[in-house]
Every structure is written in C-alpha cells, then in structure tokens.
Amino acid sequence: MKQIILIFVVLSFVLGTQNPLFLNETYTTSLIKIKKSIDIFYWNFESRSNPSEDSIAFWLAGGPGASSLISVLAGNGPFKLNKNQTLESNIYAWNNQANMVFVDQPVVQDQLSRKTRKSTYNVFLSVDPQNQYPSYGQFAFESGLISSYDYYVVAKPTLSDFSKLIAKKAPYKLFQPICMKGLQNIVGNDETPKFDVYDIMCTGSDCKSAFHGLSDYLNRADVYAALGVLGRTWQIESDTVYDALKYDYDQSFAQDIAFVLESGIKVLVQYGYQDFVCNYIGGLQWAENMNWNMQSDFQNSKFQDYLVDGKIEGKFKSAGKFSILIVDKSGHMVTIDQPALSLQMFNQFISNQYIRNKDQY
C-alpha cells in the first residue's frame, strides 16, 4: 500500500493538476518545510509546449518581501486578472516554452542572522548601492524631474555623502537618514510623491492598476482550496521580510554576479527606461564598474538596438556571457509594460540565442 501511495504521489507531481478555475493550465503547488513551523510556497506551471524537455525557470520576486504570486496574475505568469475577478490567459506567459516555478520567498523569523539573510536573498536589491544611489539624482535631473539647482546643490552632494558612508561600511542607522534626505529632495515625501517612482511617465490613479484586485482574488476560499493553502492569508508584501532585509541595502552584490559569470553562467540584467527606483543609469554604472575577467570588453562594447517584430523597443550591449538590456516604454515592471519583449528576451536567454552583440556570434 505504501508503495502504491508513493507512486501516486510521484505521478501526481510529474503530471500536475488542472482546474477550470485556473483555465486548465497544468500546475502543481506545494508548501515546502524549511524548519519547524516555517515553509515556503511555490506554484509550478508546466510548459505549454513540451514540459518534459523544456527548461525549468524559477521566479523570485524582489521587494524585498513582495510575493512572487503577483507575477502569476500580473506579468509573466499564465494569467491576467480582469476587473471582475475572472482570469484571462496571458499569451506572453513565460511558461509558453518553459516550466515556470513561482516561489514565495524568503521567509523570515523575527531574528535572522546577517549570514542567513544573505544566503536567502541577495542580488535582488539594486546590486550595487554605491552606484545606484548617486544615480537617483542624475536620473531625475536628466529626465527633467528636478531643476539643475536641486540636482547640483541639493541632491548630488547628499547622495554622494551617502555613497562615501557606504564605502566606509557605515552602519545602517548612520546612512539611512542621509539616504532618505537625498531621496526626499528628489521624490518629495511618501504621502505626496512628485512622481511615480516605478514609472516616471505614469500619472493619475492608473499607475498600479495591474495590481488591483490581486488581494481579493488570492484570498478567496476557492482559490485557497485549489492551491492547498487553506488557513493561510496571502499578502502582497511582507513588512517583516522588508524590515529584516533592509540592512542589506548597503551591500554590493556585484562581486557575486562576477563570480557567477566567471563560473561560465550567463547573466542578463534588464532595466525599464522609465523606472526611477532601479534606474538604468545606476544599473549601467555598476555593470561597467563590475570587476570581472571581461570588464574592459563590456565597457568597450557598443549598444545595439533591440528589435521586437522589427521595431526598436530598447537597446542592449554584451560581452561574453553578460548582457544588459534597457527597455523603452517601460517602468519597473517590464513584464507588464512590455510583455512581448519580455517573453522574447526570456526565450532567447534560455535558448542558445541569448542576447549578444553581433560581433560575438
């Protein structure tokens, strides 16, 4: 009997389940026990093409502390949530040609050692704060969001002080107020920001409309039952996780990326042109300043147009296995703002035509 049960369990994992609620996508969900009373939830969607042959990709949301399930319903997941709480199939879903596992992570207890934090969550911060933070002023100025006075006299010196403190490894308590001051000079206060920090071109109440209704949907009893998580509560983001990880804002992860590249693993980073929070200026700066064995090739490499259906939708450059792609008409959420581009980029990356400059072929 035990053996039969075991075989059944294995088969049900391999075969997945279907449910009209989820438009008959083939999926599996599970809560994986990490420690006593701690588990991690994942939702795995089988590839719509050839699940047994296609790659497996893991999607880990940033935040820190944002749920990866946001993307299941808004972004690169198989669904789009309609205003009336029904689902619609997303033709640009990343599981078109890959098995996609959306993992809700990290989980934190109240007390986490710094080491544990680093191992559970790292490169999703803006990679290198010493490059990212000063870029806030430059980006805002170049985008016409602040005056030259606000840039040269106010924002630039403050953000550069911040950068120096980080270089000296000053504690969070010391650099955080300076960082906040520098940012508030640009953005205004939290209640009345001068612009949408995730998309500087977005105005009005529609800016985060893709997220509307997610919480109502994912907290439905029938959805819980179908996902096997009855008794849980879904939250779009976790303050506990955010608070536990904010101390990592001073950490640069550029050397971790260099290590990955030098181990022969390809890396692609993407930025939306209209994103302030993780803006492309800071992104390009850390990418060029990253110390690795092809640094000068990368610095010397020229940007090329990135085409989707014959139209220029961004630009990219690359060296060896490293590429950076800057996406037009997109804020922070490239998968929502440029879904076709996003799927093309992903499919190129997981196949052997990953994004490379022409002279590298």
Binding site for ligand NAG (CB under 6 A): 20, 23-24, 82, 84, 86
Collapsed DSSP state (helix, strand, coil) of residue 55: strand
Tell the smallest beta-carbon distance from residue 155 to ligand NAG (Å): 43
Tell me how many helices (H) and strands (E) the chain has: 15, 10
- Nearer to ligand NAG (CB atom), residue 24 or residue 351: 24
Sign of the alpha-carbon torsion through 7, 9, 10, 13: positive
Asked whether the bond before 106 is cis by omega within 30 degrees of 0, the reply is yes
- Nearer to ligand NAG (CB atom), residue 82 or residue 353: 82
Kindly report the length of the chain. Answer: 361
Structure tokens at 338: 């440029």
- Nearer to ligand NAG (CB atom), residue 62 or residue 213: 213
Tell the smallest beta-carbon distance from residue 81 to ligand NAG (Å): 10
Tell the smallest beta-carbon distance from residue 209 to ligand NAG (Å): 13
Q: Are 228 and 105 a contacting pair, CB within 8 Å?
A: no
Tell the smallest beta-carbon distance from residue 15 to ligand NAG (Å): 15
- Nearer to ligand NAG (CB atom), residue 84 or residue 291: 84
Tell the smallest beta-carbon distance from residue 17 to ligand NAG (Å): 12
d(CA 57, CA 172): 34
Tell the smallest beta-carbon distance from residue 19 to ligand NAG (Å): 8
List all residues 6 or more positions away from 353 whose beta carbon is below 8 Å from its beta carbon. none
d(CA 5, CA 242): 40
Tell the smallest beta-carbon distance from residue 217 to ligand NAG (Å): 12
- Nearer to ligand NAG (CB atom), residue 23 or residue 123: 23
d(CA 343, CA 327): 13
**Residue found under tokens 């911040």:** 162
- Nearer to ligand NAG (CB atom), residue 82 or residue 293: 82
- Nearer to ligand NAG (CB atom), residue 89 or residue 255: 89
Asked whether the bond before 129 is cis by omega within 30 degrees of 0, the reply is no
Q: Are 185 and 158 a contacting pair, CB within 8 Å?
A: yes
